[in-house]
Amino acid sequence: MIIDKPIFTIGTASNILNLHPRTLRIYEKEGLFKPERKGAWRYYSMNDLNWIKCIRKMIHERGINTGAIRNLLEHMACWNIVDCPLDKREMCTAYHASHMDTKWVS
């Protein structure tokens, strides 16, 4: 199975994660992740599900609130948080921008 291919509907994802679909919608609204959309349908990949498990662990085991998680996401590159294959990173403009040699002109 390709881990970054969005194949799970919100119902299937919530069953796999053993949580209510509304929780997934709340996490999305809070800006903690963004599932792929096709029309009105949300689709989740295995990477998404693994990230949601990580979010749940931070909230329930570590006591971190959603605002703090969102702040973390704003300051850390996504490829440092989730498993992102090198070939995907090589196609990512954000990844390239972070690795550019900055030349200062005076």
pLDDT of 67 above 80: yes
Distance from C-alpha of 77 to C-alpha of 13, rounded to nearest angstrom? 25
What's 101's DSSP letter? P
Distance from C-alpha of 88 to C-alpha of 84, rounded to nearest angstrom? 7
User: What percentage of the chain exceeds 90 in pLDDT?
Assistant: 38
Q: What is the pLDDT of residues 10-53, one digit of tens each?
A: 999 999 999 999 999 999 999 888 899 999 999 999 888 988 99
In CATH, what class is 8-98?
Answer: mainly alpha
Kindly report the number of other CB atoms within 10 A of residue 35's CB atom: 20
pLDDT top residue among 92 and 74: 74
